[in-house]
Each structure stands twice: as structure tokens, then as C-alpha cells.
Structure 1
Amino acid sequence: MARIAAGLALGTLGGVTFYLLSLPLPWMLGALFVTMAASVAGLPVAGPVRLRSTIVAVIGVLLGSRFTPDVLAQLGEMLLTLVILLVYLVAVAALVVPFYRHVGRQDWTTAYFAGMPGGLTEMIEFGEARGANVPAIVLAHSLRIVITIALMAFLFRIVLGHDVGAAATVPGPALGPADALILIGSAVLGALLGIRLRLPAPTFLGPLILSAAVHMAGITESAPPALLVNAAQVMLGTILGCRFLGIAPATLARAGILSLGATILTLGLAAAAGLAMGRVAGVGLDQALLALAPGGLTEMGLIALAIHADVAFVALHHVARILVVLVLAPLVARFLPPSG
């Protein structure tokens, strides 16, 4: 408990500092970078991992609140962009996996599950089952998410001039008792349904889907209060930052350079796919980049919310990415060349 309290204290300090400096996505990024530095320095910190399900459920309900009845009218347009997403995923696998194999000098199995743009937990489980180097996969995906969040947040703030800050928590309609019960029910029942249906990231996707359903049906227009959302972002950033506890600086530096290279390659492909989405469906490049960027669904959704992009578009494409990789990655892994 003392380590968790220390981690949350540092995470809050980082969030407040980033907020006062008007840095992008301050509550999550501030907590992430401060606790990551503390973890690498060997300080006795820990994240509230047992609360992660509750934290991501809150963010899932928040993102679901941005789904409107207009989403249904966009489904035909999204079919075209989903096809582009599939081509993009094949291109990422064809470029990034060999990058980890030849530049990172990893065996084919480790390189494959490190380079595939799927969920961290699933890639670890698949890789471990096939005898891959699990720590290398953990570092690859953890750093990919951190680097992507940082690059995208600063890209939208500094290069494109978006306000990637407190905009993520712009208040909606007043939250009455009935609305609060609906949102709490979306979180609790959505998490239970997500687990029952064995969805990827069940305690996030379940609440997001249920929240989206009640908002598209017009049952409520409210969202979780800003203070709760900011606290959830601090805790999520603390959990991400504390993943690096016990990792030697030299190991982290090498993995970081490798992940930076892989992330830049992936974002380059994302930009090309985003331009294609713009041509065939009129999707803005900023929105397309968020839908394709190799960051976490939760984190990219928060950035989309902050810049007032179409959260539904971004979320649906990340869900599709996760499901496609989840289904196809273990099947394709059977055809990997032998390492040597």
C-alpha cells in the first residue's frame, strides 16, 4: 500500500505539473513520465493495478458518451476505411516484424509478437505459448504505447495546434441522479458482459459498448464528471509508468531506440493509410491517424476526445484492429520461418 501511495502521489504531482505547464494530455502523460522515471531510478513505487478494471471502465463510459445516433449513418463510409485498415495491418506486419528480427536481432517468434500491433496481454500470452522472449515482447509493446501517446499528443498540440489538454473533460449536460445510475450501470453491467462474452479488454470494451448504446438511443446525454475522469487518467498513467520498475537503464535505452524506430515506421504507414482514407471517404488526416496509430485504444480515444475528433470512428477502428490481430496472429505464426 505504501508503494502504491507513493506511486499515486508522484503520478498526481506529474499530472499537476503538466497541467500547470499546459502540456498535452497532462493528467495521463504527467503521471506516466514521472512514475516511469521513478521506476527506472529504482524508487519504491507501484501502480494501483487492482483498480485498473475500474479505471478503464470509467474511461470506457466516457468514450461511449461521445457516440451519437449519427454514428449509424456513417457505417457505410466506415466499411471502406476498415478495408484500408486491413491492408495497413498487413503492411505493418510485413515491415515491422522483419525490423525487429534483423535490426533488433530477435528470433522470428519474438520479433513477430513484438511487432504485431495487437494488445499487450494477448501478444504476451501468444508469444509465451510459442517460446518467445517474453520480457522483450513486454518492453516492445509497453514502449510502443508510451512513445505513440507522447508523439501523437505533441504532434496534435505543437504541429497541428490542437488543444490536447483539458478539452478531454469538457462538461456535458448536468449529471442528475438518474443519469448517474445509468452511467454506473453501463460501467458495472458492461464490464460483466464484456467478461462473459470474452471480449478483448472486457472491462473497457463492455462499458464502452453499453454506454454507446444508451447514448445512441437517447436515454442519456451525460458523461462522467471531470474530476473522476482526471483521477482515472492519473491512475492509468501511474500504472503504465510503474511497468518499467526493475528494468536496467541500459536495457530500457536499447529497447526504447528499437521501439522508437518501429513506431516511426508504423506511423509512416498510418499516415499513408490515413491519406487513403481521406481520398476514399473524406476522413481528416488527424482523425485517421488516431484511428490507426499503434497506441492503446483507451489512450488514443482520450486524445480523440481532447481534440474533438470523432471518438466513435477512432474507437471502432481500434476495436477492429485488436480483433483482427487477435484472430489472425496465432494462425499466421504457424508459418514463421525458423530462427537462426
Structure 2
Amino acid sequence: MRHLLAWLLLVVMSAIFFFLMELGDLPAAMLISCMVAGIVVGVRGGDISVPPFAFAGAQAIVGCLIAASLTPAIFPVLMAEWHVFALSVLATILASSLLGWLISTWRVLPGTVGVWGSAPGASTAMVLMAGAFGADQRLVAFMQYLRVIMVSIGAALVARLWVDTSGVELPSPVWFPPIESAAFGVTMGVAVLGAGIGAVVRLPSPHFLGAFILGCVVHLGFGAEFQIPHWLMMLSFALVGWTIGLKFRGETLRHAARALPQVVLSILALMAFCGGIAFVLAHEMGIDPLTAYLATSPGGMDTVAIITASTDTVDISFVMSMQALRFLFVLLMGAPIARLVARMVRT
């Protein structure tokens, strides 16, 4: 009965937080609201947890979701401006790695949390992979999702210097769309098979990365279409958020509170650095300032999509190609870079 009451409290609180975050148009509302509700229940002693198979399935669905979001249209833009993309992405990665190294070296947060938490993009992926490498997922999530919120708000504020985005909104999602048997079947097959392959070959965060890699091959290589209904996507986000949040205890929360000023400063420093890259792109290469800023913004792709849809002056292909390239680089190289920086911290 106590466990049932704890689950009931968790679900009700998650729904309330989700409703409030949706009213405020905050990004990753389901993920963050469920994580916050999980933190409250976990800190208050709620002795419940998400079953491992459910968490594994949620990771696999998130991997399919990310693979399905990539389109072949980004390749021509990447080929034409590859040097600009490469230099900008590498500079951002180096800056974020330096910040992560400083946070870990100065013991602002324990272990290698600062390294994983400073990665500029792929927030959910970094949280999932951080746990596979021994970092505290709870504190990594605290850093990553705080950055997502700050960067998204910052991008929206900067955009208002050029354009009015108040009338631009994403279409309301259809929670229960008709199931397309072929596309939905491909999605489920990739999720199950990819997660299994990832576990067999011992990938870091095997269920997520296995589904993502297989999904990219199937989607980009063979043109297969995926269908991830909104209810399934939200359920996956909720399971990931609950899994992370329920692991919080009072000591973890005190760590996060003590580190809040330093973490905020590190996020602002990364945003300022990316703004500097945008300034160089705008003044040295003639790229539209708003296009340059949105392209180099370290996260908040939902906000970027809304803003780019609001005006013809923004080069949508350039913005989304830059965001996608950095996302892929962080996703594929985040673990090796984090391990390298972690070794530097320990030595």
C-alpha cells in the first residue's frame, strides 16, 4: 500500500508539474517535470523505482527518436560549408570540455559529473551514457537540463532583437494518432533489435546507443520511415525522468544546491563563448547575425526550430545543419572525450 501511494503521488505531481511547464512553454517539459517529481518523492523517502526493463525500453525509444529526426537534407549543406561547421563545432566542444575539466578539478561537483554535464547538446543521451561510465546521473541531469532551459530562454530573448516570434507556435501534438503498421513496426523492431545488439557488443548505454546506431542505418541508409506516437515518446521521457529523479537523496540535493552558482556561471560562460563564435561568423563571413547565433547556440533545438520558422532572414538549413552536426559529434564522441578529460582530472 505504501508503494502504491508513492506511485500515485509521483504520477499526480508529475502531471501537475507538466501542466505548469507547458503553460510556461518550457522545453523538455515531460522529462523535467517527471524528474522533479521523482526528486521530491526520492528525497522524501519514497522507496520505489522504475523496473529495469521499462527503463531499457525507454532508452531504446529515445534512440529511435533521435535517429528518426535526422534527414538526408543536411548532407548537401554540410558538404558546402564543412570547414565552417567543423571549426565552430570543435571550438564549442573544446570550450565545454575545458569548463567540465575546471568544474571537476575544482571539485565543484564530485567525480566526472562536470565533464558529462558540460557537454553542449544531446542532453538526454549524455545523462544516459554518464551512468554507464560511473558518473552520478542525477547531478549530470541537473547540469544538462538547467543548461537546456537557460539556453532556450537566451535564444528566444536574443531573437527578439531581430524579429517578433510571439505569433509563431509549434502545432499542437496529436497524442493518439492512427498507427501506421509498417512504420510503427519498423520502430519497434529497431528498438528491440538495436537494444539487444548494443547489450551483446557491450556498448556504453547499450539500449540507447544500439537503437540509435541501428536506427540511423535503417533510416538514413535504407530510407525506412519511423513512427513514434506522441504518447509513446512522452511515456519514454517520463520513465527516464522518473528513473533519474527517484535516485536523488538529500545528500545529492545538497550537492546540487551548493554547486548552483558555479554551474550557472559555467553555462553563461559557454553561452558567451558560442555568442563569440556567432560574432565571428557574422562579421568575418557575412552570415546573418541571427542565423549565426541560433546555429551556434549550445542546445535548445525546440526553441531554435520555432524561431527559424518565424522569418525569412534566417537560413534554416545552415542553423539545423550546425545543430545536427554538433549533436552527432557530441553523441558519438562524447564518451571518449569525457573519458580523456576524466583521466586528466584524476592525474
TM-score, normalised with respect to structure 2:
0.70
The equivalent residue for 1:285 is: 293
Alignment of structure 1 residues 71-86 onto 2, 5 Å: 71-76=74-79, 77-78=81-82, 80-86=84-90
When residues 68 and 99 of structure 1 are mapped into structure 2, their CA distance, relative to the original with a 3 A threshold, is closer
Which of 180, 184, 187 pairs up with 2:184? 180
When residues 138 and 241 of structure 1 are mapped into structure 2, their CA distance, relative to the original with a 3 A threshold, is closer
Q: Distance in 2 between matches of 1:251 and 1:4?
A: 26
Letter in 1 for 2:227: A
The equivalent residue for 1:193 is: 197
The equivalent residue for 2:270 is: 266
RMSD: 4.2
**Percent identity over paired residues:** 18
Q: Distance in 2 between matches of 1:180 and 1:28?
A: 23
Letter in 2 for 1:154: I
Provide Cα deviations, 1:69-111, integer angstroms capped at 9, x if missing partner. 223323423454233322333333444533554584x8xxx57
Provide Cα deviations, 1:210-234, integer angstroms capped at 9, x if missing partner. 3334333564444211121122223
Provide Cα deviations, 1:23-82, integer angstroms capped at 9, x if missing partner. 444322332334334444x25265526222211222222232222222332342345423
Q: Distance in 1 between matches of 2:322 and 2:197?
A: 23
Asked if structure 2 preserves the Cα contact closer than 8 Å seen for 1:60 and 1:204, the reply is yes
Indicate yes or no: 2:24 matched with 1:27: no
The equivalent residue for 2:50 is: 48
Unaligned residue ranges in structure 2 (runs of 5+) = 120-125, 160-164, 310-315
Asked if structure 2 preserves the Cα contact closer than 8 Å seen for 1:18 and 1:26, the reply is yes
Alignment of structure 1 residues 76-115 onto 2, 5 Å: 76=79, 77-78=81-82, 80-98=84-102, 101-102=105-106, 104=108, 114-115=114-115
Asked if structure 1 preserves the Cα contact closer than 8 Å seen for 2:113 and 2:139, the reply is no
Asked if structure 2 preserves the Cα contact closer than 8 Å seen for 1:11 and 1:237, the reply is no
When residues 303 and 8 of structure 1 are mapped into structure 2, their CA distance, relative to the original with a 3 A threshold, is farther
Q: Distance in 1 between matches of 2:77 and 2:22?
A: 35
Q: Distance in 2 between matches of 1:175 and 1:243?
A: 34
Q: Distance in 2 between matches of 1:301 and 1:54?
A: 24
The equivalent residue for 1:230 is: 234
Asked if structure 2 preserves the Cα contact closer than 8 Å seen for 1:190 and 1:210, the reply is yes
The equivalent residue for 1:254 is: 258
Q: Give SS of 1:247's match.
A: helix
Provide Cα deviations, 1:186-213, integer angstroms capped at 9, x if missing partner. 2112222333444443322332333334
Asked if structure 2 preserves the Cα contact closer than 8 Å seen for 1:15 and 1:27, the reply is yes
The equivalent residue for 1:145 is: 144
Q: Give SS of 2:248's match.
A: coil
Q: Distance in 2 between matches of 1:264 and 1:237?
A: 25
Q: Distance in 1 between matches of 2:40 and 2:253?
A: 10
Which of 300, 307, 330 pairs up with 1:321? 330
Q: Distance in 1 between matches of 2:180 and 2:35?
A: 33
Q: Give SS of 1:48's match.
A: coil
When residues 280 and 186 of structure 1 are mapped into structure 2, their CA distance, relative to the original with a 3 A threshold, is farther
When residues 21 and 163 of structure 1 are mapped into structure 2, their CA distance, relative to the original with a 3 A threshold, is same
Q: Give SS of 1:74's match.
A: helix
Task: Give the drift of 1:249.
Answer: 5.4
Indicate yes or no: 2:67 matched with 1:64: yes
When residues 224 and 139 of structure 1 are mapped into structure 2, their CA distance, relative to the original with a 3 A threshold, is closer
Q: Distance in 2 between matches of 1:248 and 1:194?
A: 30
Letter in 1 for 2:211: P
Aligned length: 317
Alignment of structure 1 residues 203-242 onto 2, 5 Å: 203-217=207-221, 219-242=223-246
Q: Give SS of 2:251's match.
A: coil
When residues 277 and 220 of structure 1 are mapped into structure 2, their CA distance, relative to the original with a 3 A threshold, is farther
Q: Distance in 2 between matches of 1:165 and 1:38?
A: 34
Asked if structure 1 preserves the Cα contact closer than 8 Å seen for 2:38 and 2:242, the reply is yes
